[in-house]
Structure 1
Amino acid sequence: MLDPRHSQDTIAAIATPPGDGGVGIIRVSGPRALDIARRIFRPANPAFTDFLPYRLHYGHITDADGTELDDVLCAHMPGPRSYTGESLIEINCHGGRAVLGAVMQEALNLGARLAERGEFTYRAFMNGRMDLSQAEAVAEMIHAPTKAAMHLAQVKLSGLLGTRISELRARLEGLRAQMAVAVDFPDEELECLSPEELIDTVEGVRGEIAELLKAVDRTRAWREGALAVLAGRVNAGKSSLMNALLGRNRAIVTDQPGTTRDYLEETLNLDGLTIRLADTAGIRATDDAVEAAGLTMGRELMDRADLVLLLMDGTASVDRDTLDAARRTGPDKGLAVLNKADLDGFDESNGAPLADLGFETVAVSAKTGAGLDHLASRIRERILKEAGQPDPDELAPNARQAAVLAKADRELADLSGDADAGIPYDLLSVRLETACDVLAGITGEIAASDVLNSIFDSFCIGK
């Protein structure tokens, strides 16, 4: 758990992913960072006298006995113009685990301690280098599943979301000031805020909050990936289709019905859109408790899915179980897939009952790959039917920020209702203050320690 009382410690961490690589970076931040660098760095240039800010210096890292550990590039970023807002050293070593471990140990021996998760970014936040929305955007950049998700995180990292929230708060704070005048000087002939003006301003802020919340739904598929569920009768070819779309054997395929008893989930990238593809247990009546539990789980996945791929054996008529699943899913959320197009008995008219229900039907052969490109294209287009390509400048709050915005909106909705009912301004100001404080939780101006810890605990050690 991050503790502000330890903010004067010098911290160190390996900032690159674990494993062997060409380059590995060690980051040291805090009041002793520069002193540690001076003691372990031996410059290759005899004219070197000290670290020049924001410059890479070539040399060697040595241990306490003077033994060379690695040849490196080392840079010093003095505070407050560094990532953390304090003196920061970055050592670019070779990326072997032994090398990084040895260099890291020397930094620890000289007084640094191992950084906790997210502590570098936490210090940047505490030192005013970024607000909380920007700090969260750092984690979103690291975990972005697509290029579009990366751009959405970059917009927030630039500070635009924090600026928008600050503007909304400023408008509400202006109302608070006007209400305070009306309460403190009720008998004075001052230009006073009318209930109508109060409600107009509040509803204007609510309108902008609504737009931000709409962006959450519009961009969710790009930020988090979409869920596509394969459903249908046993032996319709769901596992074969999953393997064909993934381009490898992930699901077990046999002639025996009911091979998939649980569900499998794998990630598929369709032209920059991340799809979580789930293969569910085949639909059929069963007395097997394990298989029945798998079927229940499959129905729950279908309910949560962005798109349900109802798979049918194109060599046979549509069965009742598949029709029941189609009626429950509906054509807006479902795509009918007629499999086994490579077999002689295949007949596209077998999919007519689902077409009559309004389902789009795509014919494929999971065995030969026929129709797979068209199916992949339709999966992508159907999932993006509502969202479309995100605007490069779209402000899309994450789940935590959306919950905060929704809470503020509820408070403002109650405020408008109370104002319309003639509730006195001194009581209305309490709701207004609450809404302002809630919004401040997005930028971190007012944030509980448990909220901060939950956010920064999601970071990697070196960030």
Structure 2
Amino acid sequence: MRPKPSDTIAAVATPPGRGGVGIIRVSGPAARDIAEKLFRSPRPDFSGLRPYRLHHGTFHAPGGRLLDEGMAAFMPGPGSYTGQDTAELFCHGSPAVLAAVLGAAYALGARPAEAGEFTKRAFLNGRLDLSQAEAVAELIAARGAVQADLALNRLTGGMGEAARELGQALADLLAGICLAVDFPEEEVECLPREAFADGVAAAVARIDALLEAGQRAAPYRQGATVALFGKVNAGKSSLFNALLGTDRAIVTALPGTTRDYLEESLDLDGLPVRLTDTAGLRATDDAIEDMGKKRGLEKARRATLGLYVVDGSTPFAPDPEAEAVLAELGPGKVLAVATKADLPPAEPAPLAALAGRGIRGVAVSSRTGHGLTGLVAAIRAMLTAENGPPEPDTPAPSDREAAALSAARAELAALAEDIASGIPYDLMGVRLETAAGLVADITGETTPDDVLNAVFDRFCIGK
């Protein structure tokens, strides 16, 4: 059965697992009634849940059985998160307790909330635009301060405001050319073609600035993959452990210790990275090691950045399999790392040989920590080199919003050509209307249901 916005919904709003506090959220017309049937106050003068107040008491099943001790709050619509009457029940964070209280709410008439349904109701009730609603999911999923800042910029309306300003500029252009379409026989003042072209160019410039901000934010929002590859005993696993700050990979003097790739998450000053340690490269008759080596090479080929790890204390000798990865990634996506900098360097130095091929390099010692700070800075610089870091106060569109902006830009670019070609105003208005509709999709003013469902399906249940 299709969910109705008039249903009263309930869900656990805190993460799965045990914790000090667990929150159950109830939203809809019956939220207050359900909460007051579940909640009992020890105060003799208690007459019901007062709006925007925390009340201490106990929670009981419909039959009267005690379920928990906790707090309850009620927020009447439209001044709540969803825009509807909403109650929140603060319980002890035991999964068993939360399940019991939630089951009692269902027994009193609530139904289980779907993924993102609370935020979807906030959107449908005008509490958030679609860009802000997307930002809620981004903020929940943020793995670092930069990701959180990007999401907060959109949550506070930065992207929506930029889209509305752009939409208004397009509406003004459309109003200007409509004079010529609606009053063709009248001598009315219409937007001259030169001014029309300037207005279109200004709109394209606005879109370009937003798209550039999205490109700057992409590595921070989506994260990057960094793969270590190179010969056996080059020091990859030691470097992997040093970057993580923990002994995640087994390190021995025996070649071939790493037989499969290992992956861990790493935060590089706000830039989320998926770090991969791959099996060392060498000729082997061991089928398992060979399989692990091939899987590792595939990871390196698909990485955002490859760290070519070489032994800085041994003269450099090219490896055919490593050379294939270097050729596929290209110099701009490879950083050479010469390990064992605490030992006497080889002559000629491996990094000098690779520098002659346009590959930047850093010397480190995983044992002493020498050069690790510089390596982290170099990795971060290479991952953000194309566009630079995001501007903190500039709205950065999501992938969905960037696709809408790119499509609108294509319409405006074609419109600029039409203006130069002398196409009649009534025909040019179609492109302008299409571009305006695409921009309106950003805030959800004209977004179809399938797009809305795709946005909210990515949410967690309690939000």
TM-score, scaled relative to structure 1: 0.91
The superposition leaves residues 331-357 of structure 1 with CA deviations (integer Å, 9 ceiling, x where unpaired) of 543322111234467567233211333
Equivalent of 2:56, from 46, 55, 58? 58
**379-388 vs 143-152, which deviates more?**
379-388
Q: Which runs of 5+ in 2 are unaligned?
A: none
The aligned residue for residue 15 of structure 1 is 13
Distance 1:37 1:310, change over 3 A: same
The superposition leaves residues 114-142 of structure 1 with CA deviations (integer Å, 9 ceiling, x where unpaired) of 10000000000011111100000000100
Q: Does 1:158 align with 2:159?
A: no
The aligned residue for residue 414 of structure 1 is 414
Paired AA for residue 150 in structure 1: A
Instruction: Assess if the C-alpha contact under 8 Å between 2:130 and 2:442 holds in 1.
Output: yes
Cα displacement (A) at 1:98: 1.4
Cα displacement (A) at 1:214: 0.3
Distance 1:297 1:331, change over 3 A: closer
Cα displacement (A) at 1:429: 1.4
The aligned residue for residue 226 of structure 2 is 228
Aligned pairs for 1:375-454 within 5 A: 375-385=375-385, 387-454=387-454
Aligned partners of 1:462 and 1:296: how far apart in 2? 40
The aligned residue for residue 309 of structure 1 is 307
Aligned partners of 2:61 and 2:8: how far apart in 1? 19
SS in 2 for 1:49: coil
SS in 2 for 1:320: coil
Aligned partners of 2:96 and 2:325: how far apart in 1? 56
Cα displacement (A) at 1:383: 3.3
Distance 1:424 1:145, change over 3 A: same
The superposition leaves residues 230-279 of structure 1 with CA deviations (integer Å, 9 ceiling, x where unpaired) of 12223322222112211233334455555556543321122333222122
Q: Does 1:45 align with 2:43?
A: yes
Q: Does 1:75 align with 2:47?
A: no
The aligned residue for residue 270 of structure 2 is 272
Distance 1:314 1:113, change over 3 A: same
Aligned partners of 1:271 and 1:292: how far apart in 2? 31
Aligned partners of 2:256 and 2:413: how far apart in 1? 52
Q: Which runs of 5+ in 1 are unaligned?
A: none
**130-139 vs 416-425, which deviates more?**
416-425
Aligned partners of 1:146 and 1:446: how far apart in 2? 33
TM-score, scaled relative to structure 2: 0.91
**308-317 vs 98-107, which deviates more?**
308-317
SS in 2 for 1:6: coil
Aligned partners of 1:320 and 1:293: how far apart in 2? 18
Instruction: Assess if the C-alpha contact under 8 Å between 1:122 and 1:456 holds in 2.
Output: yes
Aligned pairs for 1:192-341 within 5 A: 192-255=190-253, 257-258=255-256, 260=258, 263-283=261-281, 290=291, 293-294=294-295, 297-302=298-303, 305=304, 307-321=305-319, 326=326, 329-341=329-341
Aligned partners of 2:107 and 2:296: how far apart in 1? 57
For the aligned residue pairs, the C-alpha RMSD in angstroms reads 2.4
SS in 2 for 1:361: strand
The aligned residue for residue 182 of structure 2 is 184
Aligned partners of 1:28 and 1:228: how far apart in 2? 43
SS in 2 for 1:76: strand
The superposition leaves residues 345-376 of structure 1 with CA deviations (integer Å, 9 ceiling, x where unpaired) of 75672332113334443222334544333323
Aligned partners of 2:323 and 2:282: how far apart in 1? 12
The superposition leaves residues 184-235 of structure 1 with CA deviations (integer Å, 9 ceiling, x where unpaired) of 2112010012222222111111100000000111122222223322122233
The aligned residue for residue 168 of structure 1 is 166
Instruction: Assess if the C-alpha contact under 8 Å between 1:20 and 1:96 holds in 2.
Output: yes
Instruction: Assess if the C-alpha contact under 8 Å between 1:239 and 1:253 holds in 2.
Output: yes
The aligned residue for residue 357 of structure 2 is 357
Paired AA for residue 349 in structure 1: A
**289-298 vs 266-275, which deviates more?**
289-298
Distance 1:318 1:165, change over 3 A: same
Instruction: Assess if the C-alpha contact under 8 Å between 2:62 and 2:108 holds in 1.
Output: no
Q: Alignment length, in residue pairs?
A: 458
Instruction: Assess if the C-alpha contact under 8 Å between 1:77 and 1:89 holds in 2.
Output: yes
Aligned partners of 2:324 and 2:66: how far apart in 1? 72
**141-150 vs 238-247, which deviates more?**
238-247
Aligned partners of 1:346 and 1:90: how far apart in 2? 66
Instruction: Assess if the C-alpha contact under 8 Å between 2:301 and 2:329 holds in 1.
Output: no
Distance 1:105 1:382, change over 3 A: same
Aligned partners of 1:193 and 1:272: how far apart in 2? 48
Instruction: Assess if the C-alpha contact under 8 Å between 1:82 and 1:88 holds in 2.
Output: yes
Distance 1:180 1:387, change over 3 A: closer
Aligned partners of 1:30 and 1:331: how far apart in 2? 57
Instruction: Assess if the C-alpha contact under 8 Å between 2:231 and 2:280 holds in 1.
Output: yes
Distance 1:139 1:348, change over 3 A: farther
Aligned partners of 2:422 and 2:295: how far apart in 1? 56
Instruction: Assess if the C-alpha contact under 8 Å between 1:146 and 1:223 holds in 2.
Output: no
Aligned partners of 1:100 and 1:17: how far apart in 2? 11
Paired AA for residue 211 in structure 1: A
Aligned partners of 1:454 and 1:285: how far apart in 2? 47
Aligned partners of 1:148 and 1:317: how far apart in 2? 41
